[in-house]
């Protein structure tokens, strides 16, 4: 994608992760859509739909992170039209997680969908999970 307002939005989105993994979700919240169809599927629970549920999910996730920092963002794919865009990335970060005093790596496989709303890009969907290596088919079975 050429340098554009979407590229600037992705840069802001990446910078907001820096605050998020230090325990502050407010910067990320500002980048998400406030429309009823906004969704967030993070590794800690079921998908959240709607601004209130998405923000509550962000609050819960960021409250368990401290002293974090992003390391790098590995773009796997992405594309943009006039109204919708997406990126698929591996987010490499580290932080103190939960009650641990140890800094731990936090690699996530992330798909983010952006939508143009009132002339600016907003996150309309984010899905993140920690699956970065092949797994057996049996891993789909929940006991």
Give the residue extent of every domain in the chain: 5-140
User: What CATH architecture applies to the domain 5-140?
Assistant: Roll (3.10)
Whole-number pLDDT of residue 3? 59
Sign of CA dihedral 41, 24, 89, 92: negative
The string of pLDDT tens digits covering residues 1-29 is: 445 888 999 999 999 999 999 999 999 99
Give SS3 for 102: coil
The string of pLDDT tens digits covering residues 71-128 is: 999 999 999 999 999 999 999 999 999 999 999 999 999 999 999 999 999 999 999 9
């Amino acid at each position: 994608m050429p340098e554009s307002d979407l590229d600037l939005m992705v840069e802001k989105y990446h910078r907001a992760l820096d605050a998020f993994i230090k325990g502050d979700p407010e910067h990320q919240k500002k980048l998400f859509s406030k429309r009823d169809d906004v969704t967030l599927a993070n590794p800690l629970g079921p998908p959240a739909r709607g601004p209130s549920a998405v923000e509550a999910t962000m609050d819960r996730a960021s409250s368990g992170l401290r002293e974090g920092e992003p390391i790098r963002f590995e773009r796997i794919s992405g594309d943009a039209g006039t109204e919708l865009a997406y990126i698929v990335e591996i987010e490499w970060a580290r932080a103190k997680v939960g009650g641990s005093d140890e800094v731990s790596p936090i690699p996530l496989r992330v798909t983010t969908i952006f939508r143009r709303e009132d002339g600016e890009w907003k996150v309309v969907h984010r899905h993140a999970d920690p699956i970065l290596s092949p797994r057996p088919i049996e891993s789909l079975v929940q006991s």
